[in-house]
Amino acid sequence: MKRWVVPVIVFVLTATSWSGRIVRLYDLSQEQVLALLESGYDITSSDARLGFADVMLERGQLDQAALLAPRYEVMPEEWAHLMPESSRAMGYYYDPQENWAFWCGLAAAYPDLADTPASIGQSFEGRDIYVIRLTSTVGADWKPPILFTSLTHAREPGGNSVLIDFAMWLTDNYSSDTMAEWILDNTEVCFVPIVNPDGYEYNMPNGGNQRKNMNFSVPVPSSGIDLNRNYGYMWGYDDYGSSPNPYSETYRGSAAFSEDESQVMRDFTDALDPIASMNYHTYGGHLLFPWAYNNTPTPDQSTFESWGAAMTQYNGYNYGRCGQCLGYNANGDAVDWSYWSGGGHPKMWSFTPEVDDAGFWGGQNDTTLIASFCAECRYMNIWLCMNAPGFVGVEEEESHGIEPSGLSIGSLWPNPVVGTGCFSLSLSSPAGSRVALSLYDLTGRLVADLLDSGVEAGWSVLHAGVPDRVVPGLYVLRASSGQLEDRTLLTVLR
Ligand SMILES: [Zn+2]
């Protein structure tokens, strides 16, 4: 078979492609996408199911597009970079100063719900990377943390907008929305809105195409390190999922966690022990879960798939592994390292959303576009925050020093409950007794009695079913025995 050949790109010794344009290449096979990667093209998005890939081309390289694909389309100029006519530094995206003002303002407006931004370490150029924690004063001393990050890649401000939107939604609606109240009463939502502050600052104004960090020193010279290829699980697994070339947009650095920014995120995450994370990127309309380093399922594939289906039920995003959705793999990225339990933290349910389909700066002059992709991501965030706490397994609970005293639900699977409605539940009971399982809606109304069964003292596993008449949605599952009770959340899909 004839090997497919692509023109070899000449690496440019500058950090940005100021005049770059994004070109969508249609009707590509997976082999052709891999050949583009191997040749050093900056693939900005791709869709394995629809068979296209977007590449960033310099203005002078646009005539290459016809050589790369039988059919192509030059995407709007603002997809690739900030337009000079905008009077604002980053259009309608929040620039670094506006971010800082927003998060400080949130803490001032909601002192009982939002902490003031706190530094978790410094970037290569000495800028603070900061976290904002949202939780209420109600509830347990320890609440399971859920981590949201954005701007690991400095040219992807869409994810930052989603974090700002979700933080506003949680605080504005805490007093009026059952789900916002439940999330802040039962979890600690942590936002790291700018993982790569040097690159983001560099993009302002009218740059816009710096993806990597600003460490140009190792090796000398380079154009920075791709922080999302610098994490310590399967770092450098192969040269497709990350690049050894210092000028490639996926250059992985000289060693795992060689970079200040990835070290800060590693140490912060290991200290926090989140149960779940959303590492926001743009663009493409995907929800990715592990493994990314190769296209094989994790032991939790069926859970990830059911969560993916539930989380994307309203926005229609593709969900799956990187290789399934994009057609290529990525090694040394945050989502694999987060899920992997061999580091300094327990396994967490980690996702990489790729927001919408408007390039990197597509909403710079269009607030309605930014608002629409914030809205389409909000439900994914809500769903994760409401369901991940029910998935803190027995092992993780014990590792946080929580011993069941009284009746205690350990884990529930599958969740969401799908198809026939059958599920299993592990339950710890202090003494041999009868246990009843009942289902309530979020307003506290009894929906169905599911089970009334005898259990032994200690841990046991119960099997039950959700009746067909129960409509899809989020419910509270209550286990009770005399005066004792415990609750968890259960999602029903049909
Ligand atoms: Zn990215």
Q: Among the listed ranges 290-299, 332-341, 373-382, 473-482, which one has the minimum average pLDDT value? A: 473-482
> Which residue of the set 354, 395, 398, 485 is catalytic?
354
At 16, is the pLDDT very low, low, confident or very high (cuts 50, 70, 90)?
very low
Within a 10 A sphere around the Cβ of 3, how many other Cβ atoms?
6
Q: Which fold has domain 1-75?
A: Alpha-Beta Plaits (3.30.70)
**How confident is the model at residue 246, as a pLDDT?**
93
Share of residues in the chain with pLDDT > 70 (%):
93
pLDDT at 93: 95
Distance, CA 227 to ligand 1 centroid (Å)?
A: 9
The CATH superfamily assigned to 89-391 is Zn peptidases (3.40.630.10)
Name the residue ranges covered by the structural domains of the chain.
1-75, 89-391, 406-492
By CB atoms closer than 10 A (0-12, 13-18, 19+), residue 185 is: middle
Comparing 16 with 358, the larger pLDDT belongs to 358
* pLDDT tens digits along 463-485: 999 999 988 777 889 999 988 98
Catalytic residue status for 354: yes
pLDDT in tens, 228-249: 999 999 999 999 999 999 999 9
Residue 158 CA to ligand 1 centre (angstroms):
10
pLDDT of residue 308: 93
CA 163 – ligand 1 centroid, Å: 15
| Distance (Å) from CA 313 to ligand 1 centroid | 23
Amino acid at 54: D
Q: State the pTM of this model.
A: 0.81
Q: How far is the CA of 229 from the centre of ligand 1 (A)?
A: 10
User: So what's the pLDDT on residue 5?
Assistant: 54
Q: What is the average pLDDT score of the chain?
A: 89
**What separation, in Å, do the N-terminal and C-terminal C-alpha atoms of the chain show?**
46
- Work out the pLDDT band at 6, boundaries 50, 70, 90: low
CATH architecture of structural domain 406-492: Sandwich (2.60)
What's the 386 CA to ligand 1 centre distance in angstroms?
Answer: 26
